[in-house]
Amino acid sequence: MTGTRPDPSKLYHRKMPATWWLQKQSYFLFMLRELSSVFIAIFLLVYLYQIYQLTQGPEAYVAFTQKLASPGWLLFHLVALAFALYHTITWFQSSAVVLPVRLGEHLVPRQIVTALHIGAWVVVSLGILILFLALKN
Amino acid sequence: MAEPTITLNVTRYRPGQDQAPTTQAYAVPYKEDWVVLDALNHVKDQIDGTLSYRWSCRMGVCGSCGMMVNGTPKLTCAAFLRDYYPQEIRVEPLVNFPIIRDLVIDMTDFMEKLKSVKPWIIRKEEKPVSEGEYLQTPAELEAFHQFTQCINCMLCYAACPVYGLELKFLGPAAIALGYRYNMDSRDQGKDEREIIGNHDGIWDCTFVGECSVVCPKHVDPAAAIQRSKVDVTKNWFQSILMPWGQR
Amino acid sequence: MTTEKTTEPLWWGLFSAGGVVAAFLVPVHIILVGFALPLGWITDTGTLYRYGWVKAYLFVLIVLPLYHWAHRFYFALNDMGLKPMNKTLAILCYGGAVIGTVVTAWILLKV
């Protein structure tokens, strides 16, 4: 079935502004979520650099650890932690959407799947902490 | 006492006459049970018959009356005046589509994309009618039922910034439609819907998720897209790591 | 759905794996590296990093989220309007992750 197509020369095309993600809260939160990956990557490189100090002698490792106590570094890690937590929560929310969980006949509600992820994350985090305390020195 | 009114600021665009769209304000009666579509119909019937817009069922099943209401893609038959009153309401044509006239947009691209995912049951071998109908359990139906509810209203395309930036993107409704057939136990045509797994298919999507937020029928196209990514990725790794065991 | 023509599933797979690692493991490590050790809540001289299995864990912890960053940042830059610079951005992002992989392996082997 063919109808008349609109005259392309008279169509008005609106261009999407490059600042689209600043114009709506949901879009802005989306962009923050994406940028959380930057802070996570930078932190991991800082961690790697700290580990690298061990190849320069034990004093180098301790010295760099002390450097991380400066207000600038503390602020960075605070910001990085906030972004990392935002990634964690949004990742678990996304996981519930991407991988639906079936219990017999019924679909487990997404909030419960997310909550279970968070519970597992708490357990894993505590496990890492305990492992670190056990292995250090 | 004068009847309360509410002001609609409506996009006007006359092809061949106007260089660019303008905004025209209309004061319509404010009625508690009216939706934006009622207000537009009042404008057309009583104030300005030159205003053009699409609408049909006025009850949220035809998908015709999608427009931007205060910057959010909505079915105007589902946007109640009382949720905005006494503030003014901005009514614009759905973004990311070219404007034909006033509030009417060109949906050619959308229609082409729907067709491109081959939205019909594809069989490797047709079953003869004498063998009866294809049987489906409730669980098999549940696997794709949600994705059959799309009314082609295009709100998801208006909400999607990826589509706004890249018009070649297949888009939420088309991918959800393809997913609906891929998940239908009667269908055997997944390999023919390769457009979904190509560039400008699922891989353009960055899971903003706004498509599912605005969908009036709770189709959840974002879920369809992400699940398709998992599916395609699994198949890809299988074909790389175990090329002998195809399907 | 055949996708021989595109390697996108590889990068998306790495992005997903990195996202899982980052989601579960990164917060606690930020607390350890960024606060607990510098502020003296815990003292440590770094000897635990000599264990082979700790190195293996660290390799996963550091490298996979780099691919998560590469993929996500590449698409974020696209979404912010830098699509014309696509090829350059791809090399910088994914190439950066690959370099990060090599550097991480080299450092962990040296420790």
Any residues with CB less than 8 A from the CB of A44 and at least 6 apart, and which?
C26, C61, C62, C65, C66
**For residue range B103-155, what is the model confidence (pLDDT) as tens digits?**
999 999 999 999 999 999 999 998 899 999 999 999 999 999 999 999 999 99
Q: Is A86 on the interface with C (CB under 8 A)?
A: no
Any residues with CB less than 8 A from the CB of B228 and at least 6 apart, and which?
B175, B178, B179, B182, B196, B197, B202, C1
Contact B69, B91 (CB under 8 A): yes
Q: Is residue A18 part of a domain?
A: no
**Cα separation of A30 and B206, whole Å?**
9
Residues from chain C that touch A52, judged by Cβ atoms under 8 A, are 107, 110-111
- Domain, as residue range, for A90: 23-135
**Cα separation of B105 and A12, whole Å?**
9
Residues from chain B that touch C2, judged by Cβ atoms under 8 A, are 191, 194, 197
> Mind telling me how many Å the CA of C4 is from chain A's nearest CA?
23
Tell me which chain A residue has its CA closest to the CA of residue B159.
Answer: A27
**Cα separation of C86 and B194, whole Å?**
23
The class level of CATH for B5-105 reads alpha beta
The pTM (predicted TM-score) of the whole model is: 0.94
> Mind telling me how many Å the CA of C106 is from chain A's nearest CA?
10
CB contact under 8 A, B236 and C10: yes
Tell me which chain C residue has its CA closest to the CA of residue A63.
Answer: C38
How many structural domains are present in chain A?
1
**For residue range C49-83, what is the model confidence (pLDDT) as tens digits?**
999 999 999 999 999 999 999 999 999 999 998 98
Q: Is A10 on the interface with B (CB under 8 A)?
A: yes
- Nearest CB partner across the interface for B190, out of C1, C13, C83: C1
Residue A137 CA neighbour count, 13 Å, CB half: 6
Q: What are phi and psi of B147, to 5 degrees?
A: -80, 0
In a mutational test of the A interface, the residue from C14, C58, C67, C69 whose CB has the highest number of chain A CBs within 10 Å is C69
- Which of A115-119, B11-15, B125-129 is predicted least confidently? B125-129
Q: Where are the domains of chain B?
A: 5-105, 108-241
Q: Is residue A100 part of a domain?
A: yes
**Cα separation of B25 and B10, whole Å?**
6
**Cα separation of B44 and B50, whole Å?**
7
CATH architecture of C11-110: Up-down Bundle (1.20)
Q: Is residue A103 part of a domain?
A: yes
Provide the percentage of residues in chain A whose pLDDT is more than 90: 84
For chain A, positions 25-54, list CB contacts with chain C under 8 A.
31, 34-35, 37-38, 40-41, 43-48, 50-54
At B245 the pLDDT is 58
Q: Is C84 on the interface with B (CB under 8 A)?
A: no
Q: Is residue A7 part of a domain?
A: no
Q: Is residue A102 part of a domain?
A: yes
The class level of CATH for B108-241 reads mainly alpha
Q: Is C8 on the interface with B (CB under 8 A)?
A: yes
- Which of A104-108, B14-18, B113-117, B186-190 is predicted least confidently? A104-108
CATH number where A47 lies:
1.20.1300.10
Q: What are phi and psi of A25, to 5 degrees?
A: -60, -40
At C6 the pLDDT is 84
At B149 the pLDDT is 98
ipTM for the complex shown: 0.94
**Cα separation of A79 and A74, whole Å?**
9
Q: Is residue A92 part of a domain?
A: yes
